[in-house]
């Protein structure tokens, strides 16, 4: 046998493993996991009971930050470190650099990263970037931690040399090096590169976090535990290396597939789509090799470490194929932003990576004589986790399909929430076995006999270990050529990483900058100080986890939200808020869509306005009432009202100039060709051009629509006394003391009442609006008024003198001053209030409108006369046109 091989083998026999650090990181990992899962459970319950944590816990978004960072850095980071303290000495035949360094690394990772990171994001100091939520101050310590990990684990491999390096070693080295390279890029670059260009870097990191940190570490575990537990070498080292290089070349090129159909240049998107497809092929090679390596172990291996790892292989296959499919443009169009993606990420992090990490920890645990080991508990943990995660992922995937379908067919947004509710309930229920499984796992590691792991290990070995020493003693040491080819491949890996940053980060940035310069209007407005502060509030509360800020270049998005987002529209976004999930609607054109009083009321008590809403209530931004917003709420509303404003102000001349500046940019032309710049269905517009309604509507349907959409403001019986009425100005109308013509209702439901909180309802079908109109008419309790020709005649004279300038000669609300008013005067041809109500309006005015009280200018007789006169205007006007 070759002497060098014998030496290496001998080294592994003598090498010492630092079990103190394994235990420290393993316990830290499990505690972090339980904390992160607790955050996950709380935020999942808020989908079902949105108010249940309103006052006594941090906001939903903040806990979502704590959840994802806890899983990635707290749980998986610690678990991988624990495994490396066992694996690196065995793989390299040399101890890790030093225990002292290990204690520093443990301290920094947990006491300078995790605990401060959680405290900061929960108290509102964060970075609104997916998988990069800890603030930059904490990122510095993450990088220090990664650098210490590199100093701790790479020297043993360097001292050993790359000759005959086993695939797990390659993955550990690759994971440590590439995470150190990609973490700063993904966590810092978006803070300095605006909008979509920053998102391009974010996209890279989102995928690198999974592809260059989680996946290599998890695969290192799989390739380590499988041969160790089966007692047989893996099926093919060739295939494993083919997979290794394939993954490291292709993973970094995947990132932009998180922003397909965005304004990021199509060349970058296509590169990511293609790399995603090729990655699927590579994963099939990797998984085939891993499955073949388990031959003889059975479907459910006896060895508990191998059992977890075996399940991780299955999850890895599914999640990777799913990932490749999601990058396909047809599927992406339908499922992007939906719970399908959330199911996918849970399958990756809680399925594949978590099962691999548990497998790795238990494998090491079995080999620590002083460790407690409760085999029964591990068995239970395995089954609880398999069942829980499977239910969760299947459920979320189905939810995503349902949501995508509803979004594609243009249904009102709220329907996607209502349809999702059963799935969200199941998702929360699935957390019971998942959380229990993790608790039982921890119990298994702190109960049972010390050293019982070794007994379990002996009992579970399914094959007699071959005498590898003898059977392969004739093998040669590797040729210089093969070693060199690996070195070249290492260099190529770095080149591909640089290529990915260049192709998918730097190059798109340059293209997007050119587009911005060419297409931006002359001097777009910057944010005011309040808007800039509001943006910080928006980021810190995690609003972008539910509301994207990018209208994609898809038909469904154009129909629902309007013209797709151009590059220059994100020029002030440091960091970007493009988002990767839509629980609520996109907000890139939110400016001018709702009034400030509606926004305040909605932030304070979302369900008062939208009963089916699941948005958290942000009561902490108010001083006890929606009418008393604190500065944070005022800033936030100012920011929301600025979204889309720059393009709207420049429209349509700005779009035409930009169209001329980029005649060959097919995607930009698609944005200019959109029929509406802002197609938000609730956006109010001036009167006119409303489609006619049917003469009658389905009252049952209308009643249901009323309760879901109108009662919050107008009240159940339409008396203008809904919960939200107290916060709105002008207050919602009391419909019981009014009667409306059908054409007036058609107009109001189609256009809303511009300047008031009454939105348009363009996402309702004609049948639904007809049904709603019928219900509104049914609320009217007005009786026929007796004619009083004398009062009418005198009222006409007073009206002509005092009222016609706003309301017009015939009460149509089109007087010469009407155009100057923020809320158009009532068109009294389409609505008639009761005589008492008309008098009340004349005496008190209408708060929040230009209608002033008239008691200081008109006597009560004159008011009475005018009230009689204006009642005469009421008549159905079938052909309404804007004044």
Partner 1 sequence: MITSIIVWGSLFAAVAFTVVYLLSPRIRAQVEQPKHQFQRQLESFDNSAAQEPKRGQQ
Q: What is the DSSP letter of 784?
A: P
**100: contact with partner 1 by CB under 8 A:** no
Q: Does 253 bind partner 1 (CB under 8 A)?
A: yes
Using alpha carbons, list the distances in angstroms from residue 146 to 322, 395, 763. 30, 36, 50
Name the phi and psi angles at 738, rounded to 5.
Answer: -135, 155
14 binds partner 1 (CB under 8 A): yes
Count of C-beta atoms within a 10 Å radius of residue 68: 23
CB 336 within 8 A of CB 326: yes
Binding track, positions 731-760, relative to partner 1; x by CB under 8 A? ------------------------------
Window 232 to 251, contacts with partner 1 (CB under 8 A): 232-234, 236-238, 240-242, 245-246, 249-250
Stretch that binds partner 1, among 473-481, 543-551, 614-622, 676-684 (CB under 8 A): 473-481
Q: How far, rounded to the nearest angstrom, does the alpha carbon of residue 685 sit from its chain's CA centroid?
A: 30
Phi-psi region of 18 (alpha: psi -120 to 50; beta: other; left: phi over 0): beta
List Cα–Cα distances, 488 to 284, 494, 782, in angstroms.
25, 10, 87
Provide the minimum distance between the beta carbon of 475 and partner 1 in the complex, in angstroms, as a whole number: 5
Considering only CA atoms, which of 748, 883, 731, 730 is closest in space to residue 817?
883
Nearer to partner 1, 363 or 807 (CB): 363
Nearer to partner 1, 95 or 629 (CB): 95
Question: What pairs with residue 678 in β-bridges?
Answer: 562
Of 172 and 863, the one with the shorter C-beta distance to partner 1 is 172
Kindly state whether residue 484 participates in binding partner 1, applying the rule CB under 8 A: no
For partner 1, which residue of 124, 184, 227, 848 counts as binding (CB under 8 A)?
A: 227
* List of residues 6+ apart from 286 with CB closer than 8 A: 219, 239, 240, 243, 246, 247, 316
At 622 the three-state DSSP class reads strand
Q: How far is CA 332 from CA 261, 400, 669, 758, in A?
A: 9, 11, 22, 35
| 3-state SS assignment for residue 738 | strand
Q: How far is the CB of 486 from partner 1 (least distance, A)?
A: 10
Choose the binding region for partner 1 from 377-385, 392-400, 467-475, 810-818 (rule: CB under 8 A).
Answer: 467-475
CB of 464 to partner 1, least distance (A): 11
Give the other-Cβ count within 10 Å of 312's Cβ. 26
Nearest to 371 by CA among 454, 478, 427: 454
Assign 449 to helix, strand or coil: strand
Interface pick for partner 1 out of 103, 137, 300, 482 (rule CB under 8 A): 482
CB 190 within 8 A of CB 508: no
Residue at token pair 């006409």: 796
Minimum Å gap between C-beta 441 and partner 1 is 22
- Largest Cα separation within the chain, whole Å, is 122
Min separation Cβ 218 and partner 1, Å: 18
Instruction: Rank residues 124 and 246 by Cβ distance to partner 1 and give the closer one.
Output: 246
Which range in 18-26, 404-412, 441-449, 579-587 contacts partner 1 by CB under 8 A?
18-26
Q: Is 370 in the site for partner 1 (CB under 8 A)?
A: yes
DSSP-derived pairing of the beta strands 738-740 and 372-373: unpaired
User: Of 90, 297, 358, 773, which one interacts with partner 1 (CB under 8 A)?
Assistant: 90
Taking the complex as a whole, the smallest distance from the CB of residue 166 to partner 1 amounts, in Å, to 4
| Residue 10 contacts partner 1 per CB under 8 A | yes
Q: What angle do CA 473, 478, 481 make, to 5 degrees?
A: 160
Residue from 299, 476, 522, 523 in contact with partner 1 (CB under 8 A): 476
**Is 431 in contact with 346 (CB distance < 8 Å)?**
no
> Which CB sits closer to partner 1, 15 or 490?
15
Q: Which stretch binds partner 1 (CB under 8 A): 37-45, 112-120, 463-471, 863-871?
A: 463-471
Query: Residue 148 CB, nearest distance to partner 1 (Å)?
Result: 18
Instruction: Tell me the C-alpha distance between 755 and 757, whole Å.
Output: 7
Cβ atoms of residues 508 and 268 within 8 Å: yes
562 pairs with which residues across the strands? 678
Which is closer to partner 1, CB of 85 or CB of 183?
Answer: 85
Q: Which of 295, 376, 472, 666 binds partner 1 (CB under 8 A)?
A: 472
What are the φ/ψ torsions at residue 72 (nearest 5 degrees)? -75, -50
**Token pair for residue 737?**
């003391």
For partner 1 (CB under 8 A), the number of binding residues is 65
Give yes or no for residue 689 binding partner 1 (CB under 8 A).
Answer: no
Residue 218 or 558 having the CB closest to partner 1: 218
Q: Is the dihedral of CA 478, 484, 486, 490 positive or negative?
A: positive
Q: By CB under 8 A, is residue 329 in contact with partner 1?
A: no
Q: Token pair for residue 187?
A: 């966590």
17 or 392: CB nearest partner 1? 17
Shortest reach from residue 477's CB to partner 1, in Å: 8
**Hey, which residues between 277 and 306 contact partner 1 (CB under 8 A)?**
278
The C-alpha atoms of residue 47 and residue 63 are separated, in whole angstroms, by 13
Shortest Cβ 509–partner 1 spacing (Å): 15
Our finding on whether 105 is near partner 1 (CB under 8 A) is: no
Peptide bond into 296 cis (omega under 30): no
Measured from the CB atom, the residue of 465 and 789 that comes closer to partner 1 is: 465
Nearest to partner 1 of 244, 561 (CB atom): 244
Which one of residues 93, 644, 722, 815 is an interface residue with partner 1 (CB under 8 A)? 93
Shortest Å, Cβ 95 to partner 1: 9
Q: What track of x and - describes contact with partner 1 for positions 150 through 179 (by CB under 8 A)?
A: --------------xxxxx-----------
Binding part of the chain for partner 1, among 16-24, 428-436, 510-518, 700-708 by CB under 8 A, reads 16-24
> What's the min distance (Å) between Cβ of 281 and partner 1?
9
Q: Which of 344, 346, 367, 733 binds partner 1 (CB under 8 A)?
A: 367
Is the CB of 15 or the CB of 122 nearer to partner 1? 15
Q: Of 111, 43, 35, 18, which Cα lies nearest the Cα of 69? A: 35
Report the C-alpha gap between 462 and 450 in whole angstroms.
23
Q: Find out whether the peptide bond into 730 is cis, omega within 30 degrees of 0.
A: yes
Binding partner 1 by CB under 8 A: which of 299, 465, 675, 856? 465
CA distance 228 to 587: 52
Q: Which residues bind partner 1 (CB under 8 A)?
A: 5, 8-10, 12-20, 90-91, 93, 99, 164-168, 227-228, 231-234, 236-238, 240-242, 245-246, 249-250, 253, 267, 270-271, 274-275, 278, 367-370, 451, 454, 465-466, 468-469, 471-472, 475-479, 482, 492, 503
């Amino acid at each position: 046998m070759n002497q060098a091989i014998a030496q290496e083998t001998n080294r592994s026999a003598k090498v010492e493993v630092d079990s103190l650090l394994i235990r420290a990181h393993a316990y830290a990992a499990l505690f972090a996991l339980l904390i992160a899962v607790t955050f996950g459970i709380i935020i999942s319950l808020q989908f079902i009971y949105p108010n249940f944590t309103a006052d006594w816990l941090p906001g939903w978004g903040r806990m979502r930050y704590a959840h994802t960072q806890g899983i990635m850095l707290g749980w998986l980071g610690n678990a991988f470190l624990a495994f490396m303290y066992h694996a690196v000495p065995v793989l390299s035949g040399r101890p890790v650099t030093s225990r002292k360094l290990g204690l520093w690394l443990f301290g920094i990772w947990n006491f300078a990263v995790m605990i401060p990171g959680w405290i900061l994001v929960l108290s509102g100091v964060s970075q609104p970037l997916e998988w990069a939520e800890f603030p930059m101050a904490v990122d510095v310590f993450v990088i220090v931690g990664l650098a210490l990990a590199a100093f701790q684990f790479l020297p043993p491999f360097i001292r050993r040399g790359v000759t005959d390096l086993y695939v797990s070693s390659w993955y550990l080295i690759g994971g440590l090096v590439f995470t150190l390279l990609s973490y700063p890029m993904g966590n810092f670059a978006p803070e300095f590169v605006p909008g979509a260009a920053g998102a391009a870097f974010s996209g890279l990191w989102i995928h690198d976090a999974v592809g260059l940190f989680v996946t290599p570490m998890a695969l290192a575990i799989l390739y380590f535990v499988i041969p160790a537990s089966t007692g047989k070498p893996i099926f093919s080292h060739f295939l494993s290396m083919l997979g290794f290089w394939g993954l490291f070349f292709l993973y970094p090129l995947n990132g932009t597939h998180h922003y397909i159909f965005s304004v990021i240049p199509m060349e970058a998107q296509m590169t990511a789509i293609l790399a995603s497809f090729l990655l699927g092929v590579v994963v099939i090679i990797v998984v085939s090799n891993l499955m073949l390596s388990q031959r003889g172990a059975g479907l459910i291996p006896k060895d508990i470490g191998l059992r977890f790892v075996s399940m991780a292989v299955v999850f890895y296959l599914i999640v990777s194929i799913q990932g490749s499919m999601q990058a396909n443009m047809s599927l992406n169009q339908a499922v992007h932003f939906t719970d399908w993606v959330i199911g996918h990420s849970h399958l990756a992090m809680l399925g594949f990576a978590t099962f691999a990490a548990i497998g790795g920890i238990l494998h090491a645990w079995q080999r620590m004589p002083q460790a407690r080991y409760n085999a029964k508990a591990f068995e239970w943990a395995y089954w609880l986790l398999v069942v829980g995660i499977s239910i969760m992922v299947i459920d979320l995937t189905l939810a995503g399909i349902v949501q995508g379908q509803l979004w594609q067919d243009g249904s009102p947004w709220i329907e996607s929430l209502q349809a999702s509710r059963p799935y969200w309930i199941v998702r929360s229920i699935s957390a019971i076995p998942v959380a229990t499984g993790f608790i039982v796992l921890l119990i298994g590691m702190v109960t049972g006999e010390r050293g019982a792991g070794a007994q379990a290990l002996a009992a579970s070995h399914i094959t007699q270990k071959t005498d590898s020493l003898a059977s392969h003693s004739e093998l040669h040491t590797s040729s210089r050529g093969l070693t060199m080819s690996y070195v070249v491949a290492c260099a190529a890996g770095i080149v591909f990483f640089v290529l990915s940053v260049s192709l998918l980060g730097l190059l798109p940035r340059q293209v997007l900058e050119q587009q911005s310069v060419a297409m931006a209007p002359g001097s777009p407005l910057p944010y005011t100080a309040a808007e800039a502060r509001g943006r910080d509030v928006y980021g810190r509360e995690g609003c972008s986890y539910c509301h994207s800020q990018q209208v994609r270049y898809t038909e469904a998005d154009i129909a629902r939200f309007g013209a797709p987002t151009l590059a220059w529209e994100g020029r002030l976004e440091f960091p970007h808020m493009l988002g990767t999930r839509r629980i609520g609607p996109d907000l890139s054109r939110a400016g001018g869509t709702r009034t400030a009083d509606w926004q305040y009321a909605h932030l304070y008590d979302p369900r008062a306005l939208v009963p089916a809403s699941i948005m958290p209530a942000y009561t902490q931004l108010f001083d006890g009432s929606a009418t008393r917003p604190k500065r944070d709420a005022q800033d936030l509303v100012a920011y929301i009202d600025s979204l889309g404003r720059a393009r709207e102000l420049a429209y349509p001349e700005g779009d035409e100039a930009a169209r001329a500046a980029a005649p060959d940019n097919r995607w930009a032309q698609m944005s200019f060709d959109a029929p509406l710049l802002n197609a938000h269905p609730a956006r109010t517009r001036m009167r006119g051009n409303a489609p006619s309604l049917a003469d009658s509507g389905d009252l049952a349907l209308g009643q249901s629509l009323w309760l879901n959409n109108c009662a919050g403001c107008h009240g159940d019986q339409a008396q203008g006394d809904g919960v939200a009425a107290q916060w709105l100005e002008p207050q919602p109308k009391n419909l019981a003391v009014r009667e409306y013509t059908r054409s007036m209702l058609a107009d109001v439901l189609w256009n809303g009442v511009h300047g008031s909180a009454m939105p348009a309802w363009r996402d309702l079908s004609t049948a639904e609006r007809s049904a709603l109109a019928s219900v509104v008419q049914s609320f009217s309790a007005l009786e026929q008024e007796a004619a009083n020709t004398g009062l009418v005649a005198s009222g006409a004279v007073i009206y002509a003198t005092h009222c016609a300038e706003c309301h017009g000669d015939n009460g149509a609300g089109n007087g010469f001053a009407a155009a100057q008013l923020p809320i158009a005067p009532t068109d009294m041809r389409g609505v008639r209030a009761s005589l008492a109500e008309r008098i009340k309006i004349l005496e008190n005015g209408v708060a929040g409108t230009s209608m002033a009280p008239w008691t200081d200018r008109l006597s009560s007789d004159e008011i009475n006369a005018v009230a009689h006169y204006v009642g005469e205007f009421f008549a159905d006007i079938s052909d309404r046109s804007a004044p």
